[in-house]
Amino acid sequence: MVQTMAFITIPRPLSLLASSTKDSWSSASVHCSYSKKSSRFSTNSKGLNRDCKTIFWNVGSFRRQYLSQLTAMLMTFKDDGRDGSEAKYDPESFSKLLFQVPISEMKFLSKLAFLCNIAYVILKIEGIYLRRYYGLYLIASSLETKTEATSSTKAKLEEFGSEKAMGFERKHHRIHSPKDQLLSMAAHQSFHSSPFEWIICDDPIRHTRIFVIQGPDSLTSWWRVLFFHPTKFEGKLDVFVHRGMYEAAKVIYEKVIPHVVDFLQTHGEQARFQFTGHSLGGSIAVLVSLMLLIRNVVRCSMVEPVVTFGSPFVLCGGRKLLDELKLDDAQIYNVIMHRDIVPRGFSCNIPGFHISVLKLFKRSLHSHTCLNENKFMYSPLGNLLILQPNAKSSPGHPLLPPGTAFYALDTTGYKDTSNAAINGFLNSPHPLQTLFDPKAYGDDGTVSLNHDSSSYLKAINGVLRLHITATIVPKLREKKSLL
């Protein structure tokens, strides 16, 4: 008899689930098995003798009530007072912290945004174009590495392919073979491989090797987000990291470390390394750069500031780590579109009710410092650069002055209120408010338009064009008047 086991846990906070039954349950664990032969459920419960069908019916009837109550709570944002009132910030006081990004820095950020954009179409990258317009040389990509790995796997498979030549007789009842074992091993390795692509470019003038990490481009890469529970980062006792991003970063680290060592051997003390990425790729870029420093592969002076575009924060206790490495916020620059929900995902305030629900599914969150003290999953780290595109592309932000602009959030003279300012920006609008809008979804939805890598490139170039025009046009008019 084939049995399928299921484990149902009914925790204390969801006491409404128990109220739909005759008894009041505070906590119950029920083991249920289903027999295909008899098509009936059987149960072996601890302190309960109930038919599993009854339990499943109760769960189903409760689900409708639970979802309706949850929706109402999300729409009104009513909470128990633990939603972080410090997040409130008015536009007038917030504008005092904003400064225009200089044109020189804007041009550099435009180049990195372009690299992040073409990282999604690696096969279409033309080295001649990069050299002609950006002075960059394409060195390697993840697709080349995967091609070499595939060729190596095929060669090994061919060794086991000809069973007759090896003197073996093919038998149908034989289940395990060297080929099967090799395929099984390859499948296991693919699970631990990173779905994020990357490219490496060299800037010979600056003696800099640039590592560009692509954001999620498939369900496999977005699947990493689900492993959001914290784990220790590089063995640090008080620094925790998003587990899914950390696992992906470790895989990419092993892939790019030979290119780091090779560049060090070639350029010595002049070698510099630049990491950048869009979306989750930017989060991984931050982790990989920190791993290089923690593992003493390179010195801090050799690593240029990491630049991320629309990337979520994935570290809790990152400030302590920067202090330990004798670095400041200038080591990380986070470019955030004014209404992009992805950078806000793990750093917006989580209502107390949702915190209780999260802790039900992930026991490790019970001791998570950021969640318990600050009511968010991971804390912002580094400098914030806020990008507001044309109003035709996306409506303005409530805390920002109207009009197209590229701001740097400078909280140097406002240390006491800096966290409140950052928290206020990340919570207005709250990601849940954006997700409740029907216009948020689809290729043309607000979520996609405010997060797409091409939107970042277009917005930066739009602001850059306005500044250049404002600078050049007066000079041309002055020359004409002199003539």
Task: Tell me the catalytic residues.
Answer: 279, 340, 451
Q: Could you give the CA distance from residue 279 to residue 212 in angstroms, rounded to a whole number?
A: 12
The CA-based dihedral angle spanning residues 80, 425, 368, 286, taken in that order and rounded to the nearest 10 degrees? 170
Q: How far is CA 399 from CA 131, 383, 440, in A?
A: 40, 18, 21
Question: Torsions phi, psi of 409, nearest 5?
Answer: -85, 105
In the block, residue with structure tokens 């003197």: 167
Q: Could you give the CA distance from residue 333 to residue 330 in angstroms, rounded to a whole number?
A: 7
Sequence-distant (6+) residues with CB within 8 A of 472 are: none
Q: How far is CA 77 from CA 85, 346, 385, 430, in A?
A: 12, 17, 28, 10
Count of alpha carbons within 13 angstroms of residue 314, beta-carbon side? 34
Single-letter amino acid, residue 309: F
Q: Could you give the CA distance from residue 51 to residue 286 in angstroms, rounded to a whole number?
A: 51
End-to-end CA distance of the chain: 97
Sequence-distant (6+) residues with CB within 8 A of 209 are: 139, 200, 201, 202, 203, 259, 260, 263, 271, 272, 273, 274
Sequence-distant (6+) residues with CB within 8 A of 36 are: 1, 2
Cβ-in-10-Å burial (0-12, 13-18, 19+) of 452 comes to buried
| Strands (E) located in 323-404 | 332-337, 383-388
DSSP string, 410-459: --TT-TTTHHHHHHHHHTSS-HHHHHTSGGG-STTSHHHHHH-HHHHHHH
